[in-house]
Amino acid sequence: MNTIKKLKDNITRFLTEIASYYGIPKSEIVSTLREINFYSLYQTLCREAMPIHVFRAYGETERHQPYWGDKLFPCNAINLYREADLIAGDDSMETIHFMEVWLREDLTLAITSCFHVVNKTAGYCTSYRVHKGSEWPFEEDTFDFEAFVDGLFEAAPGIAEGQPFFEP
């Protein structure tokens, strides 16, 4: 299957599932899909994909040693969507739960649940991710269609002069 077609098919399938659950008109999905530059999205994926880890810890000072745990996916990915659905904390600590959508180098979408803890006093952060599969967990009921579409458009801005070109 053609690389760009596979990318388009996977995004279309995901948006169709979201639309049917949240009652988004099919015409809006079709219009959105026509506006996405899948070729540019593929270029961004090739250029910016990075390993996504189960656990990551890092800090802002020299005494903090960055640490990455095992890779969450067998291939690299870019983030298309991140929705905070739980935020708790005080002046020194903050805990945020995110639901995320990643586009992987194999052109499939992956959904993750991420707990991100920030120790503001020490300038230290930790993140822990769990792979939830390829379908949005509708019990979370936090999906923001417009934010997801914005994420797609931000990831596919076009190919700037001087950037590397990747053949699909």
Q: Is residue 131 domain-resident?
A: yes
Q: The tokens 């990831």 sit on which residue?
A: 155
Separation of alpha carbons 143 and 132, rounded Å: 15
Q: Is residue 54 domain-resident?
A: yes
Residue numbers of the domain that contains 133: 3-155
pLDDT per residue as tens digits for the range 15-43: 999 988 888 899 999 988 888 888 889 98
This prediction has a pTM of: 0.87
Separation of alpha carbons 81 and 85, rounded Å: 13
Q: Is residue 162 domain-resident?
A: no
Exposure string for 45-62, b = 16+ CB within 10 A, e = fewer: bbeebeebbbebbebeee
Q: How many domains does the chain have?
A: 1
Q: Is pLDDT at 60 greater than 90 in this prediction?
A: no
Q: Is residue 108 domain-resident?
A: yes
Q: Is residue 68 domain-resident?
A: yes
Q: Is residue 33 domain-resident?
A: yes
